[in-house]
Amino acid sequence: MEARGWSPRRQLCPPGILLLAVASLLSCLLTCGQAKVYSRCELFRVLQEFGLEGYRGHSLADWLCLAYYTSGFDSAAVDHEADGSTNNGIFQINSRKWCKTLKEYSTKGCNMYCTELLDPDLKNAVICAMKISQQPQGLGSWEAWKHHCLGKDLSDWVDGCTF
C-alpha cells in the first residue's frame, strides 16, 4: 500500500478573504474589550470632573440626558447613517463634520479620528462635545437633546448622584 500526502486541489477560501475575516474579528474584539456602558451617577461624576456643569449654560442633567438619548451611556456606540457617515461614542458625534475616519486626511471640526471618540475614558468625546456645544445652536446641535431634553424638567437625571 502506497502512502499518499494530502494536497488540496482547490483553495476553499482565498487568502484575502481570510485575512479580512480575521482582521474584522480582531477589530471587534478590541473594540468590544474597550467598551464601557456607564451608569447614570458614574457618568455624572465623570462629566463633573471634566467641568461640564454650567458649561455654555448647560447643567450636568442636560449632558446626562443627551448621553442617554444618543448612546444609552455607551462609550463605544457607533451608528451608521444612510449617507455613509457614522455617529460615534457616548455623544454620537457625526463623522460628516466633526471627526475623520481612518481613510481621511483632512481635518474636521474636532481635529481627531472618530475612533478616538470611542475611548471609555471619554476625554476626546467630551472635548469634541464641548467644541460642538460652542456652535450657535449649543446642545441643539443634537436632535436627541432637542426632542428629549430641551425645556424639560431634568432634575431626575441627577437625583441621588453625589457631587
Which phi-psi region, left, alpha or beta, contains residue 92 (left: φ > 0; alpha: ψ -120 to 50)? left
Burial 13-34 (b: 16+ CB within 10 A, else e): eeeeeeeeeeeeeeeeeeeeee
Domains of the chain from N-terminus onward: 40-156 (1.10.530.10)
Rounded CA-CA distance 100/116 in Å is 10
Which is higher by pLDDT, 111 or 17? Answer: 111
pLDDT in tens, 53-95: 999 999 999 999 999 999 999 999 999 999 999 999 999 999 9
Which phi-psi region, left, alpha or beta, contains residue 41 (left: φ > 0; alpha: ψ -120 to 50)? alpha
Global confidence as pTM: 0.78
pLDDT in tens, 129-138: 999 999 999 9
**Residue 139 DSSP one-character state:** G
Question: Exposed, middle or buried: residue 121 (CB in 10 Å: 0-12, 13-18, 19+)?
Answer: exposed
Question: DSSP labels for 17-83?
Answer: HHHHHHHHHHHHHHHHHH--B--HHHHHHHHHHTT-TTGGG--HHHHHHHHHHHHTTBTT-EEE-TT
Rounded CA-CA distance 128/146 in Å is 19
Three cell numbers written together for 119: 475611548
Question: What is the chain's percent helix, strand, coil content, to nearest 5?
Answer: 45, 5, 45
pLDDT at 35: 84
| pLDDT grade for 31, boundaries at 50, 70 and 90 | very low
